[in-house]
Each structure stands twice: as C-alpha cells, then as structure tokens.
Amino acid sequence: MHVLELSAVSKAFGAHRVLNQAWLQVRRGEIVGLVGANGAGKTTLLRISAGLIRPDQGVVRWDSSLVRIRYFAGEATLPPQIRARRWAALFDVPSDERRRIGVLSRGTRQILGLRIALQGPPPDVLLLDEPWDGLDPPAARRLTERIRDWGAAGTAILISSHRLHDLDDVAGRFVVLEQGRCRVVREQGDGRVGVDRIADLVARGSRSNLPCLARRP
C-alpha cells in the first residue's frame, strides 16, 4: 500500500523550476532515501509531501486513514528566539536547557529537534531533511536505530541526506532527484547499486550508466 504518493508534481519559484513532473511513492514500513545535488529540490519535495507548500501542478496523496505525519528539517523548523526548555515542554519533552534555541550549538539544536520529532509512538509518515547533520557518532547511531525501529513498526519514511553511508544503513530504496524528476536507482532488496556509485551519480549530476529502474509508477 502506498502511504504517500506524488504524481506528476511540478513546482517553480519565479522563473526557476525546481520540480518537473516528479513521481514518488512510499509504502507502509518502507524507508526511502532521497538524494541529489545541492539545489536539486529535495527540501521542496519534502515540504510538498508534508503539505506545507502546494505544488503548481500534480497531485499529492496520503492514505485516507492517516492522521499522523511528522516532518523535521533541522534548525529551519526550530524557532531561534524561544528558550529550548519552553519549546520542548510544548511537546511534552523534558529539557533542562534554559538558553534560547538560536544560541545553541548546531548539534545541540539538531538533537533537540530530533527528540521532539521522534518522541512518542511511531507516526504513519515520517519526513526527515538532513537528520544526521551535526550529530556526533553516538547520537547518529541512536537516530539510525530509531529510524529502523519505526520502519519496522510500519511507518512510511522518506529521508533526504548528504550522509549517504548513514542513509544506506536504513534505506532499502534510493531515489535520485535530478533535473526536477525522481529517478529510482535502487529498489528494496536490490544491492547491486552501491552507495559509492550513487554518490558518484549525484556528484556528476548526469545520466550515467546507472540503471533507471523506474521513472514513474
């Protein structure tokens, strides 16, 4: 069952077209890695998936029975002027940090946001934008474990990250966002396309000899 589906989604900001007829599906219990060069449109696609912005064209569908969607995109989703303890308390997350969020270190902000986003029971859909950014190795391992646990519990998870080896530890399917379109380069259970080859594709930004397993459903 597709819990999240984007069909022929396009989005432009002024004269710059970011997404161009993008297709993407995420099934229940599936962890999908979304990769691409800087400016490829990954954050825009995630925000459209979360319902935060509307596409210019195309359709976004969620399973009609869903009520729980969580989205975290680092400090962009944290209010810098609010004290960390007060912000955490709004989500019933304990914190002893009295300083304002904006003065905290990058890693501390990231951990605070992740603690809020990943607290409580697993949601139906989890959307993460660069979740390992700024984390030390122990915190990165804890994040990886939580993502695996929620995927096993049935959460549909879409993650964008430049830390491809961390992403490779959790994602069964890889989608490259290139020229505004989604390109599946590794399917669930298919290890023929390794993470180093995916990194090479992203770095070169060209249609190389990597197999295109699907352009649309």
Strand partners, 38: none
Retrieve residue 115's tokens. Answer: 């603690």
Residue type, 198: I
What pTM, to 2 d.p., does this model score?
A: 0.89
- pLDDT in 10s for each residue of the chain, 217 residues: 689 999 999 999 999 999 999 999 999 999 999 999 888 899 999 999 999 999 999 999 998 777 689 999 998 899 999 999 999 999 999 999 999 999 999 999 999 999 999 999 999 999 999 999 999 999 999 999 999 999 999 999 999 999 999 999 999 889 999 888 888 776 676 666 677 777 877 777 644 444 433 334 4
Task: Give the integer Cα–Cα distance in Å for 130 and 179.
Answer: 20
CATH numbers and ranges of domains, the chain = 2-74+125-204 (3.40.50.300)
Contact 185, 34 (CB under 8 A): no
- Among residues 5, 62, 63, which one has the least CA distance to residue 32? 5
Strands 57-62 and 181-186: unpaired
In this structure, the chain runs to a length of: 217
Give 83's DSSP letter. Answer: B
